[in-house]
Amino acid sequence: MDFTSNASKHCTINNEIKTLKALYPHDLQVYDVPPVGEISLIEFQELSLDRLKVLRLVEGISLRSDLKTLEARKESLRDSLKKDGLKYYANLIYGAGCKSSLEVDLQARRKDCISHFILRLAYCKDKDQAKWFINQEAELFKMRFTSLDKEGVEQFLAMHRLDCRHISQEEKEQIREDLQMSTVRVASIDTIDFYKVSFRKVIDLVRTRKVYVERGIAYVPRTDLISLCISYFRQKLTVGMEDAKECLSNASDDERVMGYISALPGTFSGMARVVWSTTNTPLEKLEELSRTSYPMCMRSLHEALRINHHLKNSGRIQYGLFIKGIGVSLDDALRFWREAFSQKIDSDKFEKQYAYSIRHIYGKEGKQTNYTPLGCNKIISSAIGPGEYHGCPYKHMDQSSLRQKLCAYGISDFDAKEIIELAKEGHYSLACTKYFQMLHKQSPEQPIFHPNGYFAESRKILTKDTDGMDDSSQTANIKSERIVGTPRRNEAVNLTPRTAERSFATPTRRTENVHTPKIRNVYKTKSINIEKLLNDDEIAELMGDG
């Protein structure tokens, strides 16, 4: 055994923990020091999207009239974060202060800091967007502040030199009556700590007569310290947004980063519109749409279904939710899957084995959740077993199968090479965007983070090009626009069964690369928990019941 290398590895990890601890000493940050260092484009995107989801959740929760207290809102946020796979945020909002030295907690602080600064850049340009960002961040800060224990609060006050001191028991005794009278909401002042601070820093508490003031000093119970800290945080953030504006104007000219940052504020609000369609897409259109407007992940599934007359459960969920999102009704979906399976599965068997899960997808069975289509993050992180076609081709296909497929779809060798390079480097959404550009001869307006977003971007372009050529009723995600009847390109790559068969016959998908020990379980033939698979949707919180 090589003890030397183990020891040095251990040493490196310890050093890393020390560095993280020095950089991020407290669970609660005011983000006064921008992060320094390198970060991959993928992590950059992931972290910013995670935070955007968190802020959207915070916004949604603060609008709910049934959640009356901050604690209730916090619990609801924690549950939603866990449901959305954002456990590190769920832990962060309950962070008590400086105690933890666990790497996972320190990494969470690091992500918290980086993601905040990315969003600051994205939201600083526009006044309204900046206001929205500050408000959500402040609400998040409030929730997190209430989780701090006594030590955590004092460390926070000391770190930020807030000139706010804990009063001793003797001092408390001297003004006991005044304190008790000024803090009527507190049953006994013996159970609560008081801090003294200049009254100017807690004007709102003074105005509402919530604190005792003597000679310009306000005596603030710990429960009300948030008032001081939140105005400090807001102040910092407001100045920080101005700094960010300046940074942005001197920022890198890397188009990928700048384009991404500018599109970020519209990402989920746009997605909320594109993921859900309230009108009907006729089944007859799917074949054509799969060639013109499906991203490669869905096109692959559609083709695999046509060729194999079957899809395994994960494929049915990924594709079933996608077509639900583009406006295929439940009745049509049942007909679609029944017909697609008909060569292998008779109607009776279909009713018994498959109809339930399709109705489930539409929220008509089980918990009756109105599930929304899976986003790229979820699809990219899924594991693929033998004979399965779901997932993201840029992540899960081996290079030669990907090349073969791109070529079959009419992408030139030169462009295919570029797409494969991007995929190889882990830039899946950029590879997908490049594919989009090749097929549409222009870029999507929004970056691709969601298959249904890809679809909506595609329809926007194709319907514009052939205005009036289509009578499809699928208009919900592209309001007042109509679907194109004659796609202008890609017809040449309309796969005949033979060609398609070839591209699917030997799909040496990169299952072996995907099988890290963590996801190896996928091969076990345990029953699949449909609730779990479906609930882990990245944007479910944005969707009302359709």
**Residues 175 and 219: beta-carbon distance below 8 Å:** yes
Pick the closer one to ligand SF4 by CB: 265 or 451. Answer: 451
Q: Per CB under 6 A, does 297 bind ligand SF4?
A: yes
The binder of ligand SF4 chosen from 199, 350, 371, 428 (CB under 6 A): 428
Q: Per CB under 6 A, does 451 bind ligand SF4?
A: yes
Q: Binding residue per annotation — 432?
A: yes
Q: Per CB under 6 A, does 454 bind ligand SF4?
A: yes
Pick the closer one to ligand SF4 by CB: 336 or 454. Answer: 454
For residues 21 and 109, give the distance between their C-alpha atoms in angstroms, rounded to a whole number.
9
Q: CA nearest 543: which of 331, 269, 280?
A: 269
Q: How does DSSP classify residue 279?
A: S
Q: Per CB under 6 A, does 304 bind ligand SF4?
A: no
- Which whole-number Å values give the CA distances from 307 to 63, 252, 392, in the listed order? 48, 47, 19
Pick the closer one to ligand SF4 by CB: 432 or 522. Answer: 432
Whole-number minimum distance, CB 295 to ligand SF4, in Å? 4
Whole-number minimum distance, CB 80 to ligand SF4, in Å? 23
For residues 408 and 389, give the distance between their C-alpha atoms in angstroms, rounded to a whole number.
17
Q: Per CB under 6 A, does 432 bind ligand SF4?
A: yes
Pick the closer one to ligand SF4 by CB: 260 or 394. Answer: 394
Q: Binding residue per annotation — 229?
A: no
Whole-number minimum distance, CB 311 to ligand SF4, in Å? 16
Q: Binding residue per annotation — 98?
A: no
Q: Per CB under 6 A, does 402 bind ligand SF4?
A: no
Q: Binding residue per annotation — 392?
A: yes
Q: CA nearest 508: which of 396, 423, 383, 342?
A: 396
Q: Per CB under 6 A, does 392 bind ligand SF4?
A: yes
The binder of ligand SF4 chosen from 124, 296, 321, 456 (CB under 6 A): 296
Count of residues in contact with ligand SF4, rule CB under 6 A: 15
Whole-number minimum distance, CB 21 to ligand SF4, in Å? 36
Region of residue 456 (phi > 0: left; psi between -120 and 50: alpha; otherwise: beta): alpha
Pick the closer one to ligand SF4 by CB: 51 or 378. Answer: 378
Alpha helices in 98-254 (DSSP H): 103-123, 127-145, 150-159, 169-174, 176-182, 203-207, 225-249
Q: For tokens 């604190």, what's the residue?
A: 211
The binder of ligand SF4 chosen from 81, 113, 289, 379 (CB under 6 A): 379
Q: Which of residues 469-528 bind ligand SF4 (CB under 6 A)?
A: none
- Which whole-number Å values give the CA distances from 123 to 42, 69, 114, 152, 156, in the listed order? 20, 28, 14, 30, 26
* b/e 354-376 (16+ beta carbons within 10 angstroms → b): bbebbbbbbbeeeeebebbbbbb
CA atoms in the 13 A half-sphere facing the CB of 362 = 18
CA atoms in the 13 A half-sphere facing the CB of 52 = 27
Q: CA nearest 452: which of 366, 528, 342, 542?
A: 542
The binder of ligand SF4 chosen from 389, 394, 409, 504 (CB under 6 A): 394
Token digits for 466?
Answer: 């052939």
Pick the closer one to ligand SF4 by CB: 433 or 463. Answer: 433
Q: Per CB under 6 A, does 429 bind ligand SF4?
A: yes
Contact range with ligand SF4 by CB under 6 A, out of 26-34, 79-87, 424-432, 469-477: 424-432
Mutual orientation of helices 399-408 and 413-424 as an angle, nearest 10°? 140
Pick the closer one to ligand SF4 by CB: 155 or 290. Answer: 290
Contact range with ligand SF4 by CB under 6 A, out of 24-32, 110-118, 211-219, 425-433: 425-433
* Cβ neighbours for 431, distance < 8 A, ≥ 6 positions apart: 394, 419, 420, 422, 423
Pick the closer one to ligand SF4 by CB: 211 or 379. Answer: 379
Q: Per CB under 6 A, does 389 bind ligand SF4?
A: no
Q: CA nearest 514: which of 377, 318, 383, 378?
A: 383
Q: Per CB under 6 A, does 411 bind ligand SF4?
A: no
Residues at the contact surface with ligand SF4, assessed by CB under 6 A: 295-297, 376, 379-380, 392-394, 428-429, 432, 448, 451, 454
Annotated binding site for [4Fe-4S] cluster: 297, 376, 392, 432
Annotated binding site: 297, 376, 392, 432
